[in-house]
């Protein structure tokens, strides 16, 4: 009895230490974000004075500057490019993944490796060909061009992930619905897609984040009329100095959609990432 009491005390003691460590780690990770958030509303004058000023009158100057510089448009560009490419990936990729998992396609394994291979080369390698082709067909600095470029990267990833999701779905579920008289497209809509939705959401969020964060292609293939946020940020490094406050604003704003997506879709993502590991 006594032994058990001590061991219990040990355990709570250990878990307290672990919790403390976890909190410290989290604080360490989140401090830069917090620092950025303070810079966002800190007046220029006291931004880097030593000792650090923790209490100050917040200012909206940085926001005003950004609005004046047309950053809303850049934000909109980012949203358009990331959403459109993600949407297309889901629309094109889901049927492709389903077909790969279900139908006896001629040389389907080779074809699948080929799809995967488009993701194997470092993006930089493909940049020059992309640029040359786009220059020829007039896709430089267009939404269509950027969306297409992201599509090529995300599609292979998405198809790759979704194929295994579709594979894990017992084919009997579809057969049962077919036997019940449902046409195949309805089987897809009513049975298959609802059941692979966790996977779709998880993969789509990752595609969105990739497109949202991407810099290299957005810079090379766009960058003039169409500037996504990652491309717009360097313009804040000016000849008059680095505009830290404005950069922080853009950084925080850029973080928000990703945070929101992960927060709202967390349930799906966790289920998506663990599905297949545990058989229900």
What is the contact surface with other proteins in residues (CB under 8 A)? Answer: 170, 172-173, 175-183, 186, 191, 194-195, 280
Cα–Cα distance measured from residue 213 to residue 252, given in angstroms and rounded to the nearest whole number: 13
Residue 123, SS3 per DSSP? helix
Burial of residue 135 (number of CB atoms within 10 Å: 0-12, 13-18, 19+): exposed
> Under a CB-based contact definition with an 8 Å cutoff, are residues 236 and 243 in contact?
yes
CB of 122 or CB of 181, closer to other proteins: 181
Give the bridge partners for 242, in sequence order.
237
Cα–Cα distance measured from residue 272 to residue 203, given in angstroms and rounded to the nearest whole number: 8
CB of 185 or CB of 263, closer to other proteins: 185
CB of 58 or CB of 194, closer to other proteins: 194
Torsion 22-27-32-36 (CA) sign: positive
Query: Smallest distance from the beta carbon of 180 to other proteins, in angstroms?
Result: 4
Cα–Cα distance measured from residue 122 to residue 145, given in angstroms and rounded to the nearest whole number: 19
Query: Smallest distance from the beta carbon of 262 to other proteins, in angstroms?
Result: 23
| Number of neighbours of residue 55 by Cβ within 10 angstroms | 4
CB of 121 or CB of 179, closer to other proteins: 179
Query: Smallest distance from the beta carbon of 176 to other proteins, in angstroms?
Result: 5
Query: Smallest distance from the beta carbon of 169 to other proteins, in angstroms?
Result: 10
CB of 174 or CB of 214, closer to other proteins: 174
Query: Smallest distance from the beta carbon of 191 to other proteins, in angstroms?
Result: 6
Alpha helix (H) residue ranges in 103-221: 108-117, 123-137, 143-168, 171-179, 184-187, 193-213, 216-221
Query: Smallest distance from the beta carbon of 196 to other proteins, in angstroms?
Result: 11
Query: Smallest distance from the beta carbon of 201 to other proteins, in angstroms?
Result: 14
Cα–Cα distance measured from residue 254 to residue 78, given in angstroms and rounded to the nearest whole number: 9
CB of 15 or CB of 274, closer to other proteins: 274
Cα–Cα distance measured from residue 196 to residue 61, given in angstroms and rounded to the nearest whole number: 47
CB of 170 or CB of 234, closer to other proteins: 170
Cα–Cα distance measured from residue 74 to residue 174, given in angstroms and rounded to the nearest whole number: 45
């Amino acid at each position: 009895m006594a032994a058990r009491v001590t061991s219990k005390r040990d355990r709570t003691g250990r878990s307290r230490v672990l919790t403390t460590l976890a909190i410290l780690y989290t604080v360490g990770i989140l401090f830069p974000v917090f620092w950025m958030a303070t810079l966002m509303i800190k007046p220029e004058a006291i931004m880097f004075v030593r000792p650090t000023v923790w209490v100050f009158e917040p200012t909206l100057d940085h926001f005003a500057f950004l609005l004046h510089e047309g950053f809303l448009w850049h934000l909109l560009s980012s949203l358009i490019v990331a959403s459109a490419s993600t949407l297309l990936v889901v629309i094109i990729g889901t049927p492709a993944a389903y077909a790969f998992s279900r139908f006896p396609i001629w040389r389907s394994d080779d074809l699948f490796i080929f799809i995967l291979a488009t993701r194997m080369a470092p993006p930089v390698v493909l940049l020059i060909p992309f640029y040359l082709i786009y220059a020829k067909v007039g896709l430089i600095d267009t939404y269509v061009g950027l969306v297409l470029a992201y599509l090529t990267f995300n599609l292979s990833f998405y198809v790759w992930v979704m194929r295994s999701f579709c594979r894990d779905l017992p084919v009997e579920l579809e057969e049962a619905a077919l036997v019940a008289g449902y046409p195949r497209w309805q089987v897809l809509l009513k049975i298959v897609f609802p059941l692979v939705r966790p996977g779709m959401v998880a993969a789509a969020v990752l595609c969105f984040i990739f497109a949202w964060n991407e810099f290299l292609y957005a810079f090379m293939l766009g960058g003039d009329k169409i500037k996504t946020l990652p491309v717009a940020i360097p313009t804040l490094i000016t000849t008059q100095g680095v505009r830290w406050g404005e950069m922080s604003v853009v950084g925080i704003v850029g973080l928000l959609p990703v945070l929101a997506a992960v927060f709202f879709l967390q349930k799906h993502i966790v289920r998506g990432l663990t599905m297949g590991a545990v058989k229900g």
